[in-house]
Amino acid sequence: MEAPTMRHRFEEYIFGLQEEIITSFETLDPNAPKFKRDSWQRAHQGGKGVSGVFFVPPSTDGSPGQQTILEKAGVNISVVHGMLPPAAIKEMRADHSSIPYDGKTSLPFFAAGISLVVHPRNPHAPTVHANYRYFEISEKAAEGEGTSKVVAWWFGGGSDLTPSYLYDEDARHFHTTLQKACNQHGSELYPVFKKWCDEYFYIVHRQETRGVGGLFFDDLSTEKHARLSEDIKRPRSSEEIFDFIKAVGNSFVPSYLPILERRMSMPSTDQQRRWQLIRRGRYVEFNLVYDRGTKFGLKTPSARIESILMSLPETARWEYMTDMGSDLESEEGRLIAVLKQPVDWAGLENL
């Protein structure tokens, strides 16, 4: 009997993680509606997914809706395969020189990932996002051939926190939890991926980061990595990298749930709700204007739009020249300051 492939092992892992994460939210708020599980298949092409989505249907009689802890959330899995056109292969070769390229041949690809966004209702509770994915490119399969040789594979992912109101202890807890998960696998991972996260989740036109960051990484494989030193310990084999992915994936619940628990019942004002909705507008701006996954997804002809845009908040707000956040001494202004100048949250913890 052959050993299970990484495809199957990763798929199994993310389905288990999806279940664990959804269960932890459902346990926290037993009176709320359950996450809606939704399976889909890609028409005409290989692919399937399982969405786990939380939302509260609006009341139809004008009464206020149910005051659940979460407002909108999605914990989604997709597993797709198909053919990658030469233009896409060319771009990938920058980080994966092992992929053969002749400018005209499409190659089979496989991609599996878990992607989640959680928007809680309370303005004091931060939004969180995480994504872990595995990608494979194979040799062109001969006619009728079942499997073909993998010519390149890599893992990517990360997790980041987006508060409307800044609580230093939340940012520190989130970062140190991720840092601990990273440090078991090499001392360079956390600082490099933390910086990458601040760079990636940057709203250029606002000159601010989306939130207080976390981790972001891509292209983890046995190949040379553009951001990691060659001579420092890091996960290098597929086994070591998969172990690292599981470590950070498993850290999601302990990184976020304690924060949600201490914020979810805090009293809040209309003004704080207003600020939360303005910050959600910024979240929409980042996702629609800059996020590579969203942009790539929207351009993919048979992509499942509802899954791609599940990351958007239920409600967002835009005010012209809003006065909220402009006073740097205010609670809103304190957040803006750290979005303009990212903080070494885990470093603060160690002081």
Q: How far is the CB of 350 from a copy of itself (least distance, A)?
A: 37
Please work out the total of residues on this chain that contact a copy of itself, with binding judged by CB under 8 A.
42
Distance, in Å, from the CA atom of 128 to the CA atom of 312, rounded to the nearest integer, reads 12
Single out the residue of 15, 55, 196, 202 in contact with a copy of itself (rule: CB under 8 A). Answer: 55
**Is residue 143 a contact point for a copy of itself (CB under 8 A)?**
no
> Do 136 and 155 meet the contact criterion of CB atoms below 8 Å apart?
no
Question: Residue 285 is inside which H or E element, if any?
Answer: helix 270-289
In 3D space, the residue among 266, 280, 265 whose CA is nearest the CA of residue 164 turns out to be: 280
Subset of residues 312 to 351 that bind a copy of itself, contact rule: CB under 8 A:
312-321
Single out the segment in contact with a copy of itself by CB under 8 A; choices: 80-88, 101-109, 131-139, 305-313: 305-313
Dihedral class, residue 213 (left if φ above 0, else alpha if ψ from -120 to 50, else beta)? left
Which string of x and - marks every residue 155-174 that binds a copy of itself (by CB under 8 A)? Answer: --------------------
Single out the residue of 6, 50, 72, 123 in contact with a copy of itself (rule: CB under 8 A). Answer: 72
**Is residue 48 a contact point for a copy of itself (CB under 8 A)?**
no
> Do 50 and 115 meet the contact criterion of CB atoms below 8 Å apart?
no
Single out the segment in contact with a copy of itself by CB under 8 A; choices: 85-93, 98-106, 201-209, 329-337: 201-209
Is 173 labeled as catalytic in the residue annotation? no
User: Toward a copy of itself, which CB reaches closer, 2 or 270?
Assistant: 270
> Do 113 and 14 meet the contact criterion of CB atoms below 8 Å apart?
yes
Q: DSSP letters along 146-184, please?
A: S---EEEEEEEEEEEEE-SS--HHHHHHHHHHHHHHHHT
State residue 25 phi and psi, 5-degree precision.
-75, -40
State residue 202 phi and psi, 5-degree precision.
-120, 125
Single out the residue of 5, 23, 41, 59 in contact with a copy of itself (rule: CB under 8 A). Answer: 59
What's the CA dihedral at 272, 287, 253, 181 to 10 degrees? -120
User: Toward a copy of itself, which CB reaches closer, 236 or 295?
Assistant: 295
In 3D space, the residue among 344, 293, 342 whose CA is nearest the CA of residue 130 turns out to be: 293
Single out the residue of 29, 303, 331, 334 in contact with a copy of itself (rule: CB under 8 A). Answer: 303
**Is residue 53 a contact point for a copy of itself (CB under 8 A)?**
yes
Subset of residues 76 to 135 that bind a copy of itself, contact rule: CB under 8 A:
none
- Interface residues with a copy of itself (CB under 8 A) are 36, 38, 51, 53, 55, 58-60, 62, 72, 74, 204-206, 270-271, 274, 277, 281, 284-285, 288-289, 295, 298-299, 303, 305-306, 308-310, 312-321
Which residues carry out catalysis?
Answer: 129
